[in-house]
Amino acid sequence: MHTIFNKQFLLTACLALLTTAVSYGQRAAGKTLDLLITGAMVFDGSGKDSAQLDVGILGDRIAFVGNAQQNQIKAKKTIKAKGLYLAPGFIDPHTHTDKYLNSKDAAERATLPFLAQGVTTVFAGSDGFGGSDIAKQLSAWDRNGIGLNAALFVGHGGVRKEVLGSKNVQPTPAQLEEMRQRVDRAMKEGAIGLSGGLFYAPASYAKTQEVTELAKVAANYQGVYDTHMRSEGTGVLDAIQETLDIGTGSGIPVHISHIKVSGETNWGRSQEVIRMVENAQRKGQKVTANHYPYVASSTSLKATLMPRWAEDGGSKEMLQRLEDPKTLERIKKSLASKLDSTGRAERITLATPKNPELNGKSILKISQEWGVKPEDAVIRILKENPATSVISFSMSEEDVVRFMQQPWVMTGSDGGGAHPRTYGTFARKMGLYALEKKVMPLSQALHSATGLTATTFHIKDRGFIKEGCFADIVLFDPARFRDNATFDQSTQLASGVHYVLVNGAVSISEGKYTGALAGKALRHAPANAPSPGKEK
């Protein structure tokens, strides 16, 4: 089944590339290329094993792949890459890079934590947080310059908040239609799909049908529904089923972000999750996922522990509830129950720049230092900073590995916050798990970060080393390609990447950032899009 899935998945991309490759190969003949990379072991992104090939760049495209000497290929500059591995630039389908890409500081817009790992394309607007004004955001990136290519989801949670606010309410027919129109506009403006975050308020107040109706709109434009599911713990199987139901109800391909099973009592249930997904695939449903290679997750403290009813109306109203004695006691009971579950007070640690003295300390340790119960410590922390982030050591290594080995699971960092995954996801996946632990072939690991992602999300002419594709390329030393970020020191850049090209421009040269801002804002432009306000 896995082999069939991969072949079907790649067929469209390979056929689409063939015509372009011929034309670009003809254009390269007799011309002096801008850059020639010789002697590298080339992984083309399809999942095939490597071959020693030369790769030539003309402008922002790959113009030649083959034997440069035999074909008398000339170039203005040559990189001798013997001993290095060459692959398509990695595509990260789930990030929170908005703070980098939207920064006024050009050094931050370079998005170096990702670039230094070989990532050349990121998706933002994840977890349902993206707003509906896609054109404004993409235009700002084009105008200001960014270090990576970047695409945007329109967020279900963002659209819901625009129309309904942060309250626990259900939309009227007129409000649902307004939400549909906002998604329709966003897709026309270039969104790659609809992202969901049913784990988070206020999106968590939505019923399945609401999401399905919005997914129908995105489906009209060949979009994908990407989701942080309603549950990744005890309710994970119900959440998987809800995701599948949204897909079948709307006709949209579904993509499960940071697929996992959280909580010690759920360890091992990855096998059940995989069976559910593959049963759906056998029935013809398009289902994929992404993961990061760590046993700890990260999100906000309130999303991790606070009951959703306490968040109704947003942080301001949540803080007001904490001042009401009766409501506070009810909240404390909920917190105590969650913190007692499988030692969560010890497994959840803080990661917040505003309170550096608390970073890396567990809720249990903080409560002991303060001489209060863990639930009282949580209340105090939230009162001081409602946006406090935490890291939860909630997964098993066996489940993490089992998910990454699936041919329909791609690599996605969920990076952007104070977690080593921001700086290390791709280097850790390739260096530690593929090359050192050998839990999967390197060719598969690279495919899961390149061609698989490009094909799933219809990212045209990227994700493959083919003539005619954009020259997004990473060159790394397999003996040194490793992550260096840890939970104690989470901002250490990865090592072993020698060169990174973004749209033909050298952004990393001999391991150092060149200052280039060569990224592009990517706009999804499907063929045969419907007329405004109409479905296919």
Left, alpha or beta for 283 (phi > 0: left; psi -120 to 50: alpha)? alpha
Give pLDDT tens digits for 278-290: 999 999 999 999 9
Task: Say how far apart CA 252 and CA 462 lie, in whole Å.
Answer: 22
Architecture of domain 89-295+394-416: Alpha-Beta Barrel (3.20)
**pLDDT of 338 above 50:** yes
Task: Say how far apart CA 187 and CA 134 lie, in whole Å.
Answer: 8
Query: What sign results for the dihedral spanned by CA atoms 133, 136, 142, 146?
Result: negative
The domain segmentation of the chain, as residue ranges, is 89-295+394-416, 299-393
CA distances from 223 to 109, 132, 454 (A): 26, 15, 13
Q: Which pLDDT band, with edges at 50, 70 and 90, does 304 fall under?
A: confident
Question: Residue 206, class by beta-carbon neighbours within 10 Å (0-12 exposed, 13-18 middle, 19+ buried)?
Answer: buried
Task: Say how far apart CA 426 and CA 433 lie, in whole Å.
Answer: 10
Percent of the chain scored above 70 by pLDDT?
92
Q: Which two tokens stand for residue 173?
A: 């027919």
**Section 204-209 average pLDDT:** 96
Altogether, the residues listed in the chain come to a count of 536
Task: Note the pTM of the prediction, 2 decimals.
Answer: 0.90
Give pLDDT tens digits for 59-118: 999 999 999 999 999 999 999 999 999 999 999 999 999 989 999 999 999 999 999 999
CA distances from 481 to 104, 188, 294, 410, 497 (A): 31, 40, 17, 19, 6
Output 358 or 273, whichever has higher pLDDT.
273
Which candidate, 80, 43, 83, places its Cα nearest to that of 65? 43
Q: Which pLDDT band, with edges at 50, 70 and 90, does 27 fall under?
A: low
Least confident segment among 3-12, 337-346, 452-461 = 3-12
CA distances from 115 to 100, 348, 519 (A): 12, 29, 11
Output 418 or 58, whichever has higher pLDDT.
58
Give the pLDDT confidence score for residue 527 in this predicted structure: 62
CB atoms under 10 Å from CB of 419, counted, come to 25
